[in-house]
Amino acid sequence: MSSKKSGSGSRRKSGGALPETFSRPDLRNVPLCNRESSFLAFDERVLELATDESVPLLERLRFLCISSSNLDEFFEVRVAGTKQKILGGVEGAGIDGLSPTQELALVTTRAHALVKRQYQVLNDHLIPALADEGIRFLVRSEWSQSVREWVADYFKNEIAPILSPLGLDPAHPFPRLTNKSLTFIIDLRGVDAFGRDSGYALVRAPRSLPRVIPLPQSVSGNPHGFVFLSSIIHAEIAQLFSGMEPLGVYQFKVTRNSELYVQEEEVANLRRALESELMHRNFGQVVRLEVASGCPPRVLKYLQRQFRLDDGDVYRVDGPVNLNRLFAIPDSIDRPDLKFEAFSPMVSTQFQAGVDLFATIKQRGDIVFHHPYESYEPVIELVRQAASDPDVLAIKQTLYRTGHRSAFVKSLMDASRSGKDVTVVIELRARFDEEANIALATRLQDAGIQVVYGVVGYKTHAKMVLVVRREKDRLQKYVHVGTGNYHATTARLYTDISLLSSGKALTEDVQKVFTQLTGLGQTLDLKRIVQAPFALHSFVIDMIQREIRVAREGGKGRVIARMNSLVDARVIEALYQASQAGVKIELIVRGICILRAGVDGLSENIRVVSVLGRFLEHSRVWYFGADGDKRVYISSADWMPRNFFSRVEIAVPIEGEAGQRVKEECLDFYLRDNAYSWEMTSEGAYRRVTVDESERRASFSAQQTLIDRFQDQYQSD
């Protein structure tokens, strides 16, 4: 058994005693959903919002793009991983009873149906509805003479100079196409300038070119007319092959395995190893080919041979192969009536710029913010004031994902340059942010900041800031802990919880965790924080078992938990046992959930809902009722093995009125949602929650209720 699993060797040195490895529970005869199929069910829910007429039209287009982007990442990571298992000869069944080969067959069938549905939504729902609003995507058969002339001129001046057509022959073999790049294969007839018979040629569309080009209204005849880059290239491709005849032009895109494979315990320098591996990310194994539906079998078979793909790996599409590039459309159109109503996060006068934040925290005690309904500015201001305050001696912060022009980074660099001790734990392995984080680490180090990359073998996913300040004759500590990343842009789009505190127990716990991350000491006794990979998994199971004991003794056991994903088999086993003991369990799981709810004799006391909306639901909040002994926790962790055993995560209790508020806003409201909520059936499928007129209930949206609540609350302050 490897050291990674056993907790021996170098990993034991990096922290306290790891929990003993749990044997996988035998759930082969217990109903579980397949993880990958559960993700596709989530993406189907996202796509359903693209057809929901209660959602503004341009926002519906965004949801289509999100669904497409989600599916790209799913193939890059999850499908690629399943294919790797098959290539490696792994045939053992997972906890859902499916082998990798069976899983791939299941996922392929469902993914094909999802892609087909995506293009039906685009062609049958969104394009006609957008046309009714004067927003038109002009196909070549509809081009007027003025449009054709404009396109020809645009191609000549803006596109052709950038393109590099590649004729395929022994001197020009099929190239290594980058991941998710738009490419055209051209079937040519004729003889070139060197007397060679033609065959196939490729034209790659550089990423610098927009995929959707706006037309002047005077040309298109519409307030907002657009043409696809693919349509322009298709129409003008002959200009690139003088004297030859293009018999057909077909767009395609390949999706590659984008997982990074670094044996962290076997490299001398993690950063250099990642930099080396990143060079190969765009050229991993091809796992999917998307191609225009009109591509003839002869050309398609040629592409399949080049990429070594089976028929099931080919996805014929009736439209642009890169749907997520339509993301740019809503932002380019000034039509507020077709978008969500403008919304600005609320900021209390007690936390506006210039207010002494340290004094406010000390006076008010634990302070909770609910983003994006409440502004993220107080969190930014904490680090900003710490950087400029002469009494602040040290700042420590974890960074997992942060923006390109991060206010946090600027403040940390300012603090270091002013002589403060600044330490940043930056997670280089944050998926798809590795390159940005490597560059960020360099910038921070150049500013004199002590940068550490966490712990070998574990991702540092906890969200923490610690500020040490001299106040009179003593040192006072202030902390921020939260469920979301230190990213000001996503803080306006994701729902998350923040806690600011100067409480002695919590600040000392955060200090101990930072010391553990940057040094080599053992984990000390933590008073408020529960930490993975040491105690969080057993803590969650213990809390569920506490509810079981209460229920068996005649009390009311209650568990409400909200997270992005629920996958851990041990936790699911405990939840099933709790349901059988009579504990009422309600789970708000945005994405993947392999637990089956409502199964007679097993999980009839478990309800699972998924709530979507204009904001991405990102908070992790847990409530354990125990017959009145109520506990509320916020966390950076989902209930997944990777969070429990392969990451540094924290969970923090929220007590008193703040805890009641978090429970109401993050749990109770979402369990009431009947506007954008889906409920799991006993078969593991999801059905949309709707309002029956006979129920005499009004439509209730958790997100809109919170927008209204905070606007009313802050306006009355």
Q: Which residues are catalytic?
A: 461
d(CA 428, CA 426): 6
Query: Using an 8 Å Cβ cutoff, are 286 and 256 in contact?
Result: yes
Closest by Cα among 571, 544, 541 to 559: 544
Which burial class, exposed, middle or buried, applies to 228 when counting CB atoms under 10 A from its CB (0-12, 13-18, 19+)? buried
Query: Using an 8 Å Cβ cutoff, are 623 and 666 in contact?
Result: no
Query: Using an 8 Å Cβ cutoff, are 239 and 157 in contact?
Result: no
d(CA 378, CA 482): 13
Cite the beta strand spans of 472-529 per DSSP E: 474-482, 494-501
Indicate the residue type of 212.
V
| Assigned token pair, 630 | 């109520």
- Residue ranges of alpha helices (H) inside 133-237 are 145-154, 217-220, 229-236
d(CA 40, CA 75): 11
d(CA 168, CA 628): 73
Alpha-carbon distances, residue 702 vs 560, 561, 633, 687 (angstroms): 16, 16, 20, 18
d(CA 599, CA 559): 18
Query: Using an 8 Å Cβ cutoff, are 11 and 551 in contact?
Result: no
Q: How far is CA 182 from the centre of its chain?
A: 23
Task: Fill in the DSSP letter of residue 716.
Answer: H
Query: Using an 8 Å Cβ cutoff, are 383 and 356 in contact?
Result: no
Return the bridge partners of 656, or none: none
Beta-carbon-side half-sphere exposure of residue 331 (alpha carbons within 13 Å): 6
Angle CA 235–237–239, to nearest 5: 110
The DSSP-derived string for 78-110 is IIHHHHHHHHTT-----TTS--HHHHHHHHHHH
